[in-house]
Amino acid sequence: MEERKEMNLTKIIIASENKSKAEELRKISKRFFPNIEVLTPSEIKIKVNYPEEGLSYEENAITKAKVAANACGLPAVSDDSGIEVEALGGAPGALSARYGATDSERNSRLLSDLSQITESQKRKARYWCSAAIAFPNEEVITASGEWCGRIIFEPKGKNGFGFDPIFFDEELGKTAAELSEEEKSIRSHRGKALNALFEDVSRLSRS
């Protein structure tokens, strides 16, 4: 247990080369471990070959975290998220990343799929995120978070990524792409999942 605590207080790998995800993870992790260094595999000159995605968020997150932890010899964090639209029976769900080649294509396809749904309250949706941290000894801790809202009719906002420009937060009256970093870190599914994950890791490292 003591070895795990020390490793988490020094270095951790993010099982992704996505710069936005890496920066968000750095900010959240430092709330719990101020001296932590968050690195991508490429920053320590390691190439990680991730397997094809599975059929659930948690499966995807755990698999990627384990692969990165074993390849890098350090604890690794991964998350998998998607958007679930009520009118589409929960689609695209865990297959959100395969909904198109780019964020723009994915947004366009989702808007097209909802083109016959003209009432705002029938376009309810939620973001879901499963996060996992895997240790080189194969131990895994998981957490999850959700963000409820609806899909609007055209993109708004320049921030964020993924479906953020068309995902509307009813309480804030803004799309996810219109939120500041601070607002999003509190409201978002990823923020909730990662905060819960690091809270668990912090608690266990002290036990």
Catalytic residue among 80, 103, 164, 200: 80
Q: How many domains does the chain have?
A: 1
3-state secondary structure of 36: coil
Q: What are phi and psi of 106, to 5 degrees?
A: -65, -40
Nearest to 151 by CA among 182, 181, 183, 177: 177
* Domain of residue 105, residue span: 2-206
**Could you tell me the two tokens for 128?**
């879901």
pLDDT score recorded for residue 9: 56
The per-residue pLDDT of the chain, averaged, comes to 91
For the domain that residue 76 is a member of, what is the CATH number?
3.90.950.10
pLDDT tens profile 150-198 = 999 999 999 988 999 999 999 999 999 999 988 998 899 999 999 999 9
1 pLDDT higher than 60: no
C-alpha to C-alpha distance for 203 and 130, rounded to whole angstroms: 19
> Which H or E run includes 127?
strand 124-134
pLDDT tens profile 47-63 = 999 887 778 999 999 99
Distances (CA, A) of 7 to 21, 71, 136, 166: 21, 15, 10, 39
Predicted TM-score (pTM) of this structure: 0.88
pLDDT score recorded for residue 182: 86
80 is catalytic: yes
pLDDT above 70 covers what percent of the chain? Answer: 95
Nearest to 79 by CA among 143, 31, 170: 143
C-alpha to C-alpha distance for 140 and 65, rounded to whole angstroms: 9
How far does the chain reach from its first CA to its final CA, in angstroms?
A: 8
44 pLDDT higher than 80: yes
pLDDT band at residue 207, thresholds of 50, 70 and 90? low
Sheet of 37-39, strands arranged across: 37-39, 11-14, 76-85, 124-134, 140-151, 167-169, 174-175
pLDDT score recorded for residue 10: 82
